[in-house]
Structure 1
């Protein structure tokens, strides 16, 4: 888990202690169960003595519950209440549900909506059936921005300056892996420009294929992103491009209309899809990060 950037040290309005406490809560993931101080320290990158003080404080405030028998902690109802309150306020989650369910029935894929959490997309709505047993994700699950269809669609829905900042952070985060990842992000940008959606063909998990489409509302929230995925043997790359992707794009456009949203498409005037990876504005934008 990435700690706050060094520049916040000079930001007098930034409360480091609060940020660290929230990092501790972020360390807990769906299906984790119990975590000890050492595990939390490893996930947050914070010193164990600091973690001990933070978990003690969070227990006193009711956000964590200690299980003395195992000397570990679990999220308490007060922490879960924050998450449920956030979900309740996400109108797009509720409005999109019948659209997601219909696309799930049409395609047999799992259909989800998510928003960004640092270098991940976190699911806050999910429609799946017995046909999607190979995609074991649910509300609260995180998937990486850089390698998933949902994440890549999100990246290319950002304003230029925000996307450039995120790409710089991703380069720092992934280090030597960045060269390969940026190629996938670049290809996704070309696909969004040409088709309106991104795909991931075994690039996150080798046996999962998916398409992704971004949604940006005119109230300034988001962007959010949807995906439709299934085991690789069910969704071939050809099917993603010719059927699943267009269906997902149509679904998102219908949701935009229902919400009174304004689509913010990628500016295709600056991209020529016939250019090679080393040519064109898009390629240079990612290459320079």
Structure 2
């Protein structure tokens, strides 16, 4: 995270810099690492004194836990509680899971949901059958946006201006992004034609997958569904002609159910 994110004089009177700094420290600890105040100061660009005060506050609120034997911090139980509250209120996953399980049984590979987290896609739900060909990406796994079917589906679900904004962000972090632009553009076009995106050994040489975006009508946020597995055991024709259309149909059903469950807009009397 660039130091500029923590500047006091941001020009936004509503932005609470101290809160931003505290949340940033939680993100640095989010990969399961155990870090000391010196580590966190180096990663954030903040002073050791500022980091110490933030960690003291976060520790009192149980968002971080201090390990006296090593003099470092890790995420606390309050973060776990937040995660479970989020998962419990994830309506998309609740609606989609029975359909995902059905498709996983048909395709014999996992069906997953992911949301964008900074420059990655973060898995938030997974349904699978138990076999030796399933990919081992679990809830909490992160995959690249620019080189996966999941990421390309997310981009395809954005409008042109939103997509360009995300691509500009990725460009600032990924020097070779241009080498993936043709594949991204092709998948956006494929989504418009077929209703899904596909990645054939694009990110890892042993993975083949299809993915479909779902744009939430109430918030405009985009989530992505994917279905994929070990390329040597997943025929590309089966993926293109059977799994892709079924995944697109699954997402349309989820969208329809969510729309039916959403409250009707209030009308003025």
Whole-angstrom CA distance in 2 between matches of 1:78 and 1:206: 39
- Aligned-pair CA distance for 1:107: 0.4
Whole-angstrom CA distance in 2 between matches of 1:3 and 1:128: 41
Whole-angstrom CA distance in 2 between matches of 1:52 and 1:152: 40
Which region of structure 1 is more displaced relative to structure 2, 59-68 or 97-106? 59-68
Q: Give 5+ residue unaligned stretches, structure 1.
A: 262-289
SS at match of 2:140: coil
State the match for 1:196 in structure 2.
Answer: 195
- Aligned-pair CA distance for 1:208: 1.7
State the match for 1:15 in structure 2.
Answer: 16
**CA 1:41–1:153: 2 relative to 1, 3 Å:** farther
Q: Is the 8 A contact 2:65 2:74 kept in 1?
A: yes
SS at match of 1:10: coil
State the match for 1:90 in structure 2.
Answer: 90
4+ residue segments displaced more than 6 Å: none
Whole-angstrom CA distance in 1 between matches of 2:129 and 2:144: 23
Q: Is the 8 A contact 2:150 2:225 kept in 1?
A: yes
1:33-182 matches, cutoff 5 A: 34-37=34-37, 40=40, 44-47=43-46, 49=48, 50-131=50-131, 134-174=134-174, 176-182=175-181
State the match for 1:277 in structure 2.
Answer: none
- Aligned-pair CA distance for 1:4: 6.5
Whole-angstrom CA distance in 2 between matches of 1:37 and 1:136: 33
State the match for 1:219 in structure 2.
Answer: 218
Q: Is the 8 A contact 1:108 1:132 kept in 2?
A: no
Q: Is the 8 A contact 1:27 1:40 kept in 2?
A: yes
SS at match of 1:219: coil
Whole-angstrom CA distance in 1 between matches of 2:247 and 2:213: 10
TM-score, length-scaled by structure 1: 0.80
State the match for 2:184 in structure 1.
Answer: 185
Cα-to-partner distance string for 1:87-122 (whole Å, 9 max, x where unaligned): 122111111110111111100111111211111121
Whole-angstrom CA distance in 1 between matches of 2:45 and 2:136: 30
**CA 1:72–1:157: 2 relative to 1, 3 Å:** same
- Aligned-pair CA distance for 1:6: 8.6
Q: Give 5+ residue unaligned stretches, structure 2.
A: 261-269
Matched pairs, number: 258
Which region of structure 1 is more displaced relative to structure 2, 132-141 or 90-99? 132-141
